[in-house]
Structure 1
């Protein structure tokens, strides 16, 4: 897992920069935006373990929380943070802010 901040990106986070974050992988193949209103909400509640075989990039738009990575909750995030989840890492976002958690998520294609 890597953690960046939008303010640290040289061009403010254009699609080209976001694609460069996942260097070695293909373009974004799917993604979306999610909102969770309740503090304590844990994403991917459908299972105890949630992994992918490609990277997933989260951009935190609003709110705050903690990243649960491979069972440990030790990485805090807040609006403006970018979380890059590597293939095979078990991951969940857990909301704990005073406002709803809003984030984008993107899956990258395998390298061609």
Structure 2
């Protein structure tokens, strides 16, 4: 897992940015935007193991919380942070701010051969 800020992104547009932070993985395979109003909301059920075979990139738009990583509390995050979850890392976002948690998420494609 890597934590960046918007200021860490290179200039040059979306393809350059994803190549830089995605570690050579391909373009976005799927993605979306999510909103959670309640403090303490966890992005997946407590008993769920949530992993992917490609990187997932979260951009925190509003709110704050804690990333749970491989069953343990990880770093705190807030608006403006970018979280890069590596393939195989079990991950959940837990909101704890005073405003709704809003974030974008993207699953990258496998690297091109």
TM over 0.5: yes
| Residues in 2 aligned to 1:46 and 1:39: alpha-carbon distance in whole angstroms | 15
TM-score, normalised relative to structure 1: 0.92
1:110/1:46 CA distance change after superposition, 3 Å: farther
8 A contact 2:10–2:20 mirrored in 1: no
Q: Where does the alignment leave 5 or more consecutive residues of structure 2 unmatched? A: none
Q: How far apart, in 1, do the equivalents of 2:43 and 2:54 lie?
A: 18
In structure 2, the CA distance between the partners of 1:66 and 1:109, relative to structure 1 (3 Å rule), is same
**For the structure 1 residues 110 and 47, does the alpha-carbon distance in structure 2 shift closer, same or farther, using more than 3 Å as the test?**
farther
CA contact (8 A) 1:19 1:28 kept: no
Match of 1:22?
22
Shift in CA distance, 47/14, structure 1 to aligned 2, threshold 3 Å: farther
Q: 1:89 maps to what in 2? A: 89
Structure 2 counterpart of 1:50: 50
Distance 1:32 1:46, change over 3 A: farther
Q: Provide structure 1 residue ranges, at least 5 long, that are not aligned to the other structure.
A: none
C-alpha deviation, 1:46, in angstroms:
7.7
Matches within 5 A, 1:24-39: 24-39=24-39
CA–CA distance in structure 2, aligned partners of residues 60 and 68 of structure 1:
15
User: What do you get for the CA RMSD once the two structures are aligned?
Assistant: 1.5
Which residue does 2:106 correspond to in 1? 106
Runs of 4+ in 1 over 3 A off after TM superposition: none
Give the Å deviation of 1:8: 2.3
Query: Structure 2 CA distance, aligned partners of 1:6 and 1:51?
Result: 24
